[in-house]
Chains A and B, each alone.
Chain A
Amino acid sequence: MDRKLIDFIRVLRNADVRVSTSESIDAMHAATLLGYHNRELLKQALSSTLAKSEAEKESFNYCFENFFSVETPSLPKDSVEQWPTDNKNNLSASDDISRETIGDNTTTSEPDKSLQSDTSGHSPPIETSLANLLMANNANDIAIAMAQAGEAIEVNNMRVFTQKGPYSWRMLKQMGMDELQETIHALEKNEDPAQHRIAHELTERLNWLREQVRDFVEKKYLLFASQSGQKLREEVLKKARLSSLDRLYHRDMQLLVKKMAQKLASQHARRKRVFKKGQLNAGRTIARNISNDGIMFDTHWKSKRRDRPKVFAICDVSGSVALYSRFLLMLLYSLHEVLPKVRAFAFSNTLGEVSNVFTQYPIEKAIELVNAQWSMGSTDYGQALEDFSSLCLDSIDNHSTIIILGDARNNYGDAKAQLLKTLYERSQRVIWINPESKSMWGGGDSEMPRYAAYCHDANPCNTLGQLEHIVGRLLRQTS
């Protein structure tokens, strides 16, 4: 049973539930304490020891239901009446049991024995154990046999989806498919029409079993392996150029951005102060120790507060740059916990504030709306800077960070770099994020070199990984 539990923990880890070793030990203690006989109780016990947040509880419930259940395959309907061997009562009763008892499938050891049974298949028409199993019409037994075969070939080790085929085949082999096929072959050679009928029936049922096995393997794949593929994809997506990505992946990317934001937030939500080691805050110490007759028992040290910067994000939403703006805005607004003061501005030829769109609507919807409203027209950085200055030059102080995202391709218009200079002097930081690589800066209508002179930081950024890096640096800032 412990093995089962370890397998289950692996499934949980696959489903993004973080389980540490000590938690696994707790889970085992809890399971021993409560026993395995009550499914609901076991679920509650494991849930309180393994899943430690609301989201994790949800994944846990899903995994538990799928893992600790012996799926009894539905039998081929039409054949149930034809065979005298089946008894319906027995079947429905055992169905109930299989729901209740967890991991019961490890106790019996039918197929092991059956595999060694003789494979001659001559005189009595139905000889091999698999044939017996299929003809007996007992869904419960079939389920058990499948689970055992699965364990024997270690179906849990499956990693990628191309393995599904080979694993299904090996499982059928393990269950005794070869012998069954021989039997069918032998029966077909026989003259007796009754035997022919049996052969036909057996073939039907074998096909049915194939389907069941395929479903079984598919399920195991979803449980054990699908996540490792996902992880690989996330790694690749993080490093891919955003502009070259297919629309197909946008959903994945959104999830990835959310994850990233969560990580950044938890990294930076913690420390609000940085203590300067060894510098006594003399005033505070004296004040706090007056009650001790002026004797300095209670010492206080100097610290500086970590800054929560006021962020002004100015995004070019025209054409190809729109995609980058999309992810920047998504990341910034997902970071609400650590960056409460974000104001967003969008422009193509004129600029306007879009912060209230983001407060009113969920992020994805807000981005759609912003794109629809502002992405018309050819880019004019000069005009955008002028609009921005007139909108909120007054509210920019030495705690403000201005992030400008754009390719600085100004269609040969007036760059008005002096406006950026004013912003540069007033604000704490001006960060320019340019989706084009540095070698392209200054070519054609790109005004990047002129703008870059008035930026604290000008970086090319065309992957999510780089974006994460830049925003991470922003959060680390102290004043």
Chain B
Amino acid sequence: MHTVSPLMTSIEDIQRGFDAQGYICNTQIATAIYLAWHLHKPILVEGPPGVGKTELAKTVAHYLSLPLIRLQCYEGLDESKALYEWKYGKQLLYTQVLKEKLGDILNGAQGLKESMSRLHNFGDVFYSPEFIEPRPLLKAMQEPNGSVLLIDELDKADYEFESLLLEILSDYQISVPEIGTIVAQKKPIVILTSNNTREISDALKRRCLHLYIPFPDAALEQRIIESRVPELGIQLREQLVDFIQQIRQRDLKKLPAVSETIDWARTLLLLHADTLDRDIVHNTLNVILKFQDDIENIEAELPSLLAKKRP
């Protein structure tokens, strides 16, 4: 078990704590974090881009005052970049030092047998922890006070990389063939995120808790904007969230996410807008929509979209 942390005693506490950090979440998310902490399970977070999956990991790290170690996945990511690597340069230096010392060591040795035993006695550090360069995964295992390990956008990595993660996710340990097994000093909280561009393998899913974060509903989104952009007037905030929620019902190439709503709120604030009118929406639509097709689509519907909001 993790040492009992006063921060993790109840789900409500977590939710309140996250609120204070500016991360507004529903009980579903808080429950998953609570379970992950108490059951020592990694969480696999899925959902459309921009709903705060990465933000969740940052918030957890901040909330627990633990270091956040982040591993961004991409195609071709392999163990030398994710787990550990040998410090080749240092090893080369070491061999050179050894070469110079060789004469001293073998001085007066009788025959091959004695030379070999002397060499053995000299100590074998060529493959030893001193020459290991820890990469994010190993680093997370070595944190003495625990850490939050974020493995971001796992779906971008190759399939083989998932298998590499299995040992870490189930046993919190890494096997280095030359040295042995390195067990985590303190089990980190592992959060994996995926944008669902491909299916994650069953083996990996089996080891994780699964959390699906959808787009927030209007009430939750209002609270998020309130916490993130508190300077924005209530009326404008309601209009804005309403507008975004309506747009999400449309058939668009890319739906605006929460992060885009926040950006838009900030934009409107900067432009000193106090109500959503046609001009301002027309000028700032590119903040929330990222495809020309989408912008044209929505622009044609602007009058009806804006009219609907007025009671």
- Size bracket, chain A contacts: 20 to 34
* Interface contact B159-A48, CB-CB below 8 Å: no
Contacts of A51 in B (CB 8 A): 210
Contacts of A393 in B (CB 8 A): none
Contacts of B11 in A (CB 8 A): 41
Contacts of B158 in A (CB 8 A): 272
**In the bound complex, how far is the Cα of B199 from the Cα of A269, in angstroms?**
9
Name the one of B31, B38, B92, B210 contacting A292, with C-beta atoms under 8 angstroms.
B92
A474 located at the interface, meaning its Cβ lies under 8 Å from any Cβ of chain B in the complex: no
Interface set, chain B 44-98, CB cutoff 8 A to A: 44, 46, 80, 86, 88-89, 92
Name the one of B38, B80, B88 contacting A33, with C-beta atoms under 8 angstroms.
B38
In the complex, the chain A residue whose C-beta lies closest to that of B31 is A44
Write 15 A-B pairs (CB below 8 A) sorted by A numbering.
A22-B207, A26-B41, A40-B27, A48-B43, A52-B202, A53-B199, A57-B212, A266-B199, A270-B201, A271-B159, A272-B158, A291-B88, A295-B92, A297-B88, A337-B198
* Interface contact B27-A44, CB-CB below 8 Å: yes
Contacts of A44 in B (CB 8 A): 27-28, 31-32
Contacts of B41 in A (CB 8 A): 26
Looking at the assembled complex, report how far the CB atom of B218 sits from the nearest CB atom of chain A, in whole angstroms: 20
Chain B 201-217 against A: per-residue CB contact (8 Å), 1 yes, 0 no? 11001111111100000
Name the one of A20, A48, A337 contacting B31, with C-beta atoms under 8 angstroms.
A48
**In the bound complex, how far is the Cα of B196 from the Cα of A54, in angstroms?**
10
* Interface contact A41-B31, CB-CB below 8 Å: yes
**In the bound complex, how far is the Cα of B212 from the Cα of A448, in angstroms?**
53
Interface set, chain A 44-68, CB cutoff 8 A to B: 44-45, 47-49, 51-54, 57
Looking at the assembled complex, report how far the CB atom of B260 sits from the nearest CB atom of chain A, in whole angstroms: 21
Binding site for A on B (CB under 8 A): 11, 27-28, 31-32, 35, 38-39, 41, 43-44, 46, 80, 86, 88-89, 92, 158-159, 196, 198-199, 201-202, 205-212
Name the one of B28, B46, B92, B209 contacting A49, with C-beta atoms under 8 angstroms.
B209
**In the bound complex, how far is the Cα of B31 from the Cα of A33, in angstroms?**
11
* Interface contact A54-B212, CB-CB below 8 Å: yes
Looking at the assembled complex, report how far the CB atom of B106 sits from the nearest CB atom of chain A, in whole angstroms: 23
Looking at the assembled complex, report how far the CB atom of A461 sits from the nearest CB atom of chain B, in whole angstroms: 28
* Interface contact B31-A293, CB-CB below 8 Å: no
Contacts of A20 in B (CB 8 A): 206
Interface set, chain A 248-299, CB cutoff 8 A to B: 266, 269-272, 291-293, 295, 297-298
* Interface contact A41-B27, CB-CB below 8 Å: yes
Contacts of B44 in A (CB 8 A): 52
**In the bound complex, how far is the Cα of B39 from the Cα of A40, in angstroms?**
19
Contacts of A297 in B (CB 8 A): 86, 88
How many residue pairs link A and B with beta carbons under 8 A? The number is 73
In the complex, the chain A residue whose C-beta lies closest to that of B27 is A44
A456 located at the interface, meaning its Cβ lies under 8 Å from any Cβ of chain B in the complex: no
Contacts of B38 in A (CB 8 A): 33
Q: 7 more A-B contacts (CB under 8 A) besides A48-B28, A295-B92?
A: A23-B206, A29-B39, A33-B39, A48-B32, A48-B43, A48-B211, A53-B210
- Please provide the 5 A-B residue pairs with the shortest distance between their CB atoms, ordered closest to farther: A52-B205, A270-B159, A52-B210, A44-B31, A48-B209
Interface of A is mostly: helix
Central interface residue in A45, A52, A271, by most chain B CB within 10 Å: A52
A219 located at the interface, meaning its Cβ lies under 8 Å from any Cβ of chain B in the complex: no
Looking at the assembled complex, report how far the CB atom of A38 sits from the nearest CB atom of chain B, in whole angstroms: 9
Contacts of B210 in A (CB 8 A): 47-49, 51-53
* Interface contact B35-A30, CB-CB below 8 Å: yes
A185 located at the interface, meaning its Cβ lies under 8 Å from any Cβ of chain B in the complex: no
**In the bound complex, how far is the Cα of B197 from the Cα of A269, in angstroms?**
12
* Interface contact A33-B159, CB-CB below 8 Å: no
Looking at the assembled complex, report how far the CB atom of B213 sits from the nearest CB atom of chain A, in whole angstroms: 11
A365 located at the interface, meaning its Cβ lies under 8 Å from any Cβ of chain B in the complex: no
Contacts of A22 in B (CB 8 A): 206-207
Contacts of A272 in B (CB 8 A): 158
* Interface contact A45-B35, CB-CB below 8 Å: yes
Known contacts being A49-B209, A53-B210, A297-B86, is A30 close to B199, with CB within 8 Å?
A: no
In the complex, the chain B residue whose C-beta lies closest to that of A29 is B39
**In the bound complex, how far is the Cα of B34 from the Cα of A29, in angstroms?**
12
**In the bound complex, how far is the Cα of B213 from the Cα of A54, in angstroms?**
10
Interface set, chain A 296-314, CB cutoff 8 A to B: 297-298
Central interface residue in A40, A47, A48, A49, by most chain B CB within 10 Å: A48
In the complex, the chain B residue whose C-beta lies closest to that of A266 is B199
* Interface contact A30-B206, CB-CB below 8 Å: no
Looking at the assembled complex, report how far the CB atom of A5 sits from the nearest CB atom of chain B, in whole angstroms: 15
Name the one of A23, A33, A270 contacting B35, with C-beta atoms under 8 angstroms.
A33
Contacts of A29 in B (CB 8 A): 39
Contacts of B211 in A (CB 8 A): 48
* Interface contact A45-B31, CB-CB below 8 Å: yes
A239 located at the interface, meaning its Cβ lies under 8 Å from any Cβ of chain B in the complex: no
**In the bound complex, how far is the Cα of B34 from the Cα of A30, in angstroms?**
10
Contacts of A54 in B (CB 8 A): 46, 196, 212
**In the bound complex, how far is the Cα of B89 from the Cα of A295, in angstroms?**
11
A336 located at the interface, meaning its Cβ lies under 8 Å from any Cβ of chain B in the complex: no
Contacts of B92 in A (CB 8 A): 292-293, 295
**In the bound complex, how far is the Cα of B80 from the Cα of A269, in angstroms?**
24
**In the bound complex, how far is the Cα of B27 from the Cα of A290, in angstroms?**
54
